[in-house]
A = this chain, B = another copy of it.
Amino acid sequence: MLGTNPRSHPEPAATAPPSPGAGTLLQLLRDGVPRTRSELAAVTGLARSTVTQRVDALLASGLIGPAGEAASTGGRPPTTFAFRPEARVVIAADLGATHGRLAVTDLAGAVLAETSADLDIARGPDPVLDWVVARGRDLLTGLGRDTGDLLGIGIGLPGPVEHSTGRAVNPPIMPGWDGFDVPGHVSNRLPGSVLVDNDVNIMALGEHFAHWRDHDHLLFVKAATGIGCGIISDRQVFRGAQGAAGDMGHITVAGDDGPACRCGNTGCLEAVASGAAIAAELTRQGIPAHSARDVVELARAGSLPALQAIRQAGRDIGEVLAGAVNLLNPSVVVIGGSLALAGDHLLAGVREVVYQRSLPLATQHLRIVQSRTGERGGAIGAGVMVINHGLHPARIDRLVAT
């Protein structure tokens, strides 16, 4: 733990609710369906007069607006109210080892503008975050919005992050970032909450939000240079006691005889099935490959050794996933990351082993699918992280309290 931070952002305590209502009404309206005051009263069980008061507060905040009239049952037709996703915007950044992707989204998570660039994370936090701030401002300007419209900024980093303080913790490929106060740096330059998480968690959140919102339990596996996993449980990122949950890359798959892993152990999944491991193996076989991208290109060009290696990596990932499926019983497993771009080979290997090794009760309704958000998943998830935080019912209650 790196100590508390004035910009840390725990969810408001559930045991001490302020007078509730507005946040709950907004939560209902976030589905985009316009509703009358009577409908809102019926769904929530609140008194009609209370609903009117809450609706007025939300109207004043701009988060909802009138949305035309409902069909009349006689007399003056009642007004309906709807969520206004355009009321605020979010800057969402997905920062990888060598590449940065930036989006501005509305409050429904729709990408309004985006950009990307080669960006070496190892240059350190100052230049990298300054890029986020400067390009974020540019995107806002291009949309005719200004920083006063910001709900917040969401940032994904390619390493372990302490979510509660927004700081990287001993990140292996990010010199200069260890313990750096990312929210502090950005908050001095832009208004709004600043939330930070690791890249796999935001990819899991983005994939869940974009395609699997009616599933409560999802695993997202990123197979790229390394291998990581983001766990969505009850529609939220599952973090565990120290926020370290989801580390799948260093689970043993090849035993004590397996190859050495950079973590100091042997036989870790990452040491046998990551893009880096496959590239090294192909190079040993006389087929030069330096990265996960090289492996994917070889596979696309029809290289049989590359195809076989990717399929076997899928089986190895499947071995570990079979255990994760038995333990966590998700209803969806999504395979993403650059290795997944090689087409169905990785997925075929994963399916082969999971359906063989997991229990029937756990696989009965299980879907194992390729990522659909692809390279945009991380930025979408970084935006969703900020939206879910900023529009949390208790926070809205405080925001619009009169």
Which A residues have a C-beta under 8 Å from some C-beta of B? 15-20, 24, 27-28, 43-46, 160, 169-170, 215-217, 229, 231, 233, 238-248, 250-252, 255, 263, 265, 319-320, 322-324, 326-331, 356-357, 359, 361-362, 364-365
29 contacts between A and B (CB under 8 A): A15-B27, A16-B43, A16-B45, A20-B20, A215-B241, A229-B327, A233-B233, A238-B328, A239-B329, A240-B329, A240-B362, A241-B331, A241-B365, A242-B329, A243-B329, A244-B329, A247-B327, A247-B329, A247-B362, A248-B326, A251-B323, A251-B326, A251-B327, A252-B322, A252-B323, A263-B359, A323-B323, A323-B324, A327-B327
Which chain B residues lie closer than 8 Å to A319 at the CB level? 252
Is the CB–CB distance between B322 and A324 below 8 Å?
Answer: no
> Chain B: which residue is nearest A47 at the CB level?
B19
Question: Shortest CB–CB separation between residue A181 and chain B, in angstroms?
Answer: 20
Cα distance, A18 to B20, chains bound together (Å): 10
Is the CB–CB distance between B241 and A361 below 8 Å?
Answer: no
Cα distance, A250 to B250, chains bound together (Å): 20
Contact of A361 among B18, B244, B248 (CB under 8 A): B244
Is the CB–CB distance between A327 and B248 below 8 Å?
Answer: yes
Question: Shortest CB–CB separation between residue A244 and chain B, in angstroms?
Answer: 4
> Interface on chain A toward B: helix, strand, loop, or mixed SS?
loop
Is the CB–CB distance between B320 and A323 below 8 Å?
Answer: yes
Which chain B residues lie closer than 8 Å to A241 at the CB level? 215-217, 329-331, 365
Is the CB–CB distance between B327 and A328 below 8 Å?
Answer: yes
| A160, A169, A326, A362 interface centre (most CB from chain B within 10 Å) | A326
Contact of A251 among B216, B242, B246, B322 (CB under 8 A): B322
Cα distance, A328 to B239, chains bound together (Å): 7
Question: Shortest CB–CB separation between residue A174 and chain B, in angstroms?
Answer: 15
Is the CB–CB distance between A240 and B24 below 8 Å?
Answer: no
Contact of A160 among B251, B263, B323, B361 (CB under 8 A): B361
Is the CB–CB distance between A364 and B242 below 8 Å?
Answer: yes
Which chain B residues lie closer than 8 Å to A19 at the CB level? 45-46
| A229, A247, A320, A324 interface centre (most CB from chain B within 10 Å) | A247
Which chain B residues lie closer than 8 Å to A238 at the CB level? 233, 328
Cα distance, A207 to B130, chains bound together (Å): 49
- With contacts A229-B327, A327-B324 taken as known, whether A242 is within 8 angstroms of B16 at the C-beta atoms is no
Cα distance, A248 to B324, chains bound together (Å): 9
Which chain B residues lie closer than 8 Å to A242 at the CB level? 329, 331, 361-362, 364-365
Which chain B residues lie closer than 8 Å to A263 at the CB level? 359
> Chain B: which residue is nearest A16 at the CB level?
B44
Cα distance, A323 to B328, chains bound together (Å): 12
